[in-house]
Structure 1
Amino acid sequence: MSRILVAHPSPDLYGSDWQLVETIHGLIEAGHRVNAALPLDGPLVPVLREAGAHVAVLPFTVLRKALMSPRGLAGLSLRSGPEIARLRALIRASGADLVLSNTVTIPWWPVAARAAGVPVLAHVHEAEDTQHRIIRTGLNAPLLAADRIVANSGAARRALLGVQPSLAGRTIVVHNGVAGPPRPPAPLRARGPEDPFRIAMVGRLSPRKGVDVALEAVALLRHQGVDASLTVCGSIFPGYEWYEAELRERAGAADLAGHVALAGYVRPTWPVLEEADAVVVPSRAEPFGNTAVEAMHAARPLVASRVQGLAEVVADEATGLLVEPESPAALAGALGRLARDPQAAADLAERGAIEAAERFSTAGYRATMAGIVADLLRR
């Protein structure tokens, strides 16, 4: 039985957090013992323990927005020595046969594992391509210590190799495996073109997720005579209270009042998806898009931004509709098509459900990740 030490930056339960759960399931099913290290206690901890991992909460550096500057990264690097030494000692004491560093926001784990003489698998969930090249180069530099890198999309791999091209031979793409509902979803409700049109969105309340775009699209639909409403499931990162306040103010304006529900964090989201006539993922940037796959699993027609990983997940006009990001008019236009043509919406949803089951199963994902770990251990 090999011992795998997994490091992860967040105790929350969003996309990369749930993907870690699937990874750990795959490793334990393959016969490995898994220890997980997180910097804070939170709702992810009992989920990981239920999956079979041993969890320790201990302090380590997690990159936040405040550090995303040349000066911030330089200062962080200058202070890295003691933390790398501490993590190296921890890795050795744990008896780990392999370290899995989950996301690029925990920079010193790959470096410490390499220093401890332990193979390193890094899992990249980011596709940052808008920051200055110097920042992106520094952010990804610790991955030079990894033996193998898994990127969750072609977009994430391209963003990484754009600043660290020497990692090309070590970096492969493994799309996320996304769990479907525990039972077959309720059929998409029968509705006429003039009936109320209920839209759902699942995701963090952050500008990157484009919640504001969704609100403006609903306002446009209502102005066009579509009886549209929107339910948003998600909460903020600390520091984004201003964004939630702006969303609530906009949702209370006369043209939207009573037709937008900001429901906060919701889990499971299947009941919300089942109530929807369409689901939107209007992200400005999205390395993969678990919520898009969940909409497909729920057999609900999907409209998503044509960005990064979403363009890999959704086949436009076949398993969903892709629209230009940051365009309420484009989003409203696609949603209006679905509202006016319920049969076309149902056909889109049916094809999406088939695609999600075939391409993004958790069983296939778990087996693939376990195979990558087995290969590294053999080496």
Structure 2
Amino acid sequence: MEDISHPKAVVCFPFVGDVLAGSHISALGLVKNLAPTGFQPLVVLHKPEGPLAELLTRENVTFVPAPMADTPERMSPRNGAAVASVLRLLPSLVRFLRNNKVAVVHTNDGRAHIIWGLAAKLAGAKLLWHHRGDPDSFGLRYLAPWLADSVVSVSKFASPRPGLLSAARKCTVIHSPFDLQMPDQFDRAACRERVLAELQCPPDTKLLGYVGSLVERKRPLLFVDTLAALSKHSPNEKFIGLLLGNSFNGLDELCRARAESLGVSDKIRLLGFRYPGEPWMAALDALLVPAVNEPLGRTLVEAMLLGTPVIATRSGGNPEAIRHNETGVLVEPEDPVAFARAIAELFQHPDRVTSMVGRARADAHERFGAARHVTSVTQTYDNLLRPQ
């Protein structure tokens, strides 16, 4: 590879840090594997005592506080107050980047893109805009084309659409990183036994899981609807639905109310965010992914690696990760009956499930390893820093 003279170039990873989501887990996988590549990570937290700080501390990842205290709670280029706040923060951010000799600013969410993007430009650093969300988001469509030096998207679905004003030409699809040795740490039978004991369920109870934040796009209410549809479709089947994740906008209470109205309140457990989540996912008889327009959910790939069957909507980036009836099952969005039928079909054909999860694990190993992710991202850094 051509020497581009960037000995230990500093890559800054700024995070607001007030919530913990899959994007942070993915970024952490990169940060922990970056040092041997010749790049030096600099992790910056706006909230150095929040949940992300706790995770980084547990994982022995060093971080520093952001050079300012105030951070807009809601970040939008169309919000005048938020834009004014960013402009006030600019001088301190630019000084911080220059003082730390930052070569690349690698942003991972909407607020970081906007808060740090202009500062990177003014400080003479390159901006890598890591997009993990809606391809029609305002920032990706109207800011990334002129603000970002490079865009990395987690899936083809999430990538910017081509057009006169578009970041499509500077976009690369790089799947999120996963620890391929992670499944070896979890014995599925032992995990299942522990979860059943904790939930005080009989050994023949099937465990169905929803793993992820309880937000509208991920459709936790559809998960509850699916439990009701399965109860009607297979009335003699013993099963419990587990919702694992932080709740936003009162969706946990809405799920409880929906379960009560459908007569399945005894079949759901809202367990909140659990870390690590892998032992819970390994215990599941099936992971359900009812999300619509999800770029590429981490839990879907983690389940594939763990040997947990996946049933997901034919929407967003899900079809990029799953081959229908080969490495998982895809059903039409917003259709709890289709989910229920697919679950019943899996329960009735255990030999087919065994073959499916074997193919899924092999496929995930080939496409989603952390080493491949790190190589692809550092190649992007190299391209950014290569003399024009």
* TM-score normalised over the length of structure 2: 0.84
Contact 2:239 2:267 in 1 (8 A): yes
Query: Could you tell me which amino acid in structure 1 is paired with residue 65 of structure 2?
Result: A
CA distance in 2, matches of 1:269, 1:252: 27
Among candidates 305, 309, 316, match of residue 301 of structure 1: 309
Cα distance in 2, alignment partners of residues 124 and 286 from structure 1 = 12
Alignment-derived partner of residue 16 in structure 2: 9
What's the secondary structure of 1:365's corresponding residue? helix
C-alpha spacing 1:80/1:186, structure 2 compared with 1 (3 Å): closer
Mark the runs of 5 or more structure 2 residues left unpaired by the alignment.
1-7, 193-203
SS of residue in 2 equivalent to 1:105: helix
| Offset, 1:338 | 0.8
Q: SS where residue 209 of structure 2 aligns?
A: strand
Q: RMSD of aligned C-alpha atoms?
A: 2.5
Q: What's the counterpart of residue 192 of structure 1?
A: none
State which of 57, 62, 79 in structure 2 corresponds to 1:73: 79
Structure 1 equivalent of residue 88 of structure 2? 82
Q: 2:149: which partner in 1?
A: 147
Equivalent in the alignment of 1:132:
none
Equivalent residues, number: 360
Instruction: Give unmatched runs, 5+ long, in structure 1.
Output: 130-134, 190-194
TM-superposed CA distance for 1:80, in Å, is 3.8
2:141–2:167 CA contact under 8 A, matched in 1: no
2:138 alignment partner in structure 1: 136
Letter in 2 for 1:202: V
Shift of 1:262: 0.8
Equivalent position SS for 1:319: coil
Match of 1:111 among 115, 118, 129: 118
The residue number in structure 2 matching 1:235 is 246
Alpha carbons of 1:39 and 1:367: their partners in 2 closer, same or farther (altered >3 Å)?
A: same
Deviations 1:306-344 (A, max 9, x none): 111112111111111111122111211211211222222
8 Å Cα contact 2:177-2:368 kept in structure 1? yes
Other structure's SS at 2:175 match: coil
When residues 12 and 137 of structure 1 are mapped into structure 2, their CA distance, relative to the original with a 3 A threshold, is closer
Q: Is the 8 A contact 1:122 1:148 kept in 2?
A: yes
Return the offset for 1:347.
Answer: 1.7
Given the superposition, is the C-alpha separation of residues 136 and 31 from structure 1 closer, same or farther in structure 2, using an over 3 Å criterion?
same
Q: State the TM-score, normalized to the length of structure 1.
A: 0.86
Give 1:30 deviation, angstroms. 1.2
Give the 3 Å change call, closer, same or farther, for CA 182–220 of structure 1 in structure 2: closer
Which runs of structure 2 are paired with 1:1-379 in the superposition (5 Å)?
Answer: 1-40=8-47, 41-48=49-56, 50-57=59-66, 58-59=68-69, 61=71, 64=74, 72-77=78-83, 80-106=86-112, 107-129=114-136, 136=138, 140-142=142-144, 144-157=146-159, 160-161=160-161, 165-180=165-180, 181=182, 183=184, 185-186=186-187, 196-224=205-233, 225=235, 226-237=237-248, 240-241=249-250, 243-253=251-261, 255-379=263-387
Q: Provide, for residues 269-312 of structure 1, a one-character-per-residue CA deviation record: whole Å limited to 9, x for no partner.
A: 22222221111111122111111001101111110111111121
Check whether the contact 2:152–2:174 (CA below 8 A) recurs between aligned residues.
yes
The alpha-carbon distance between structure 1 residues 9 and 155, as it changes in their structure 2 partners (threshold 3 A), is farther
Check whether the contact 2:292–2:316 (CA below 8 A) recurs between aligned residues.
no
Paired with 1:161 and 1:73, the residues of 2 have a C-alpha distance of: 24
| Preserved contact between residue 9 and residue 62 of structure 1 (Cα < 8 Å) | no
AA aligned to 2:263 is: D
Give secondary structure in 2 for the equivalent of 1:265.
Answer: coil
Aligned amino acid, residue 115 of structure 1: L
> For 2:335 and 2:358, how far apart are their aligned partners in 1?
26
Q: What fraction of aligned residue pairs are identical, expressed as a percent?
A: 26
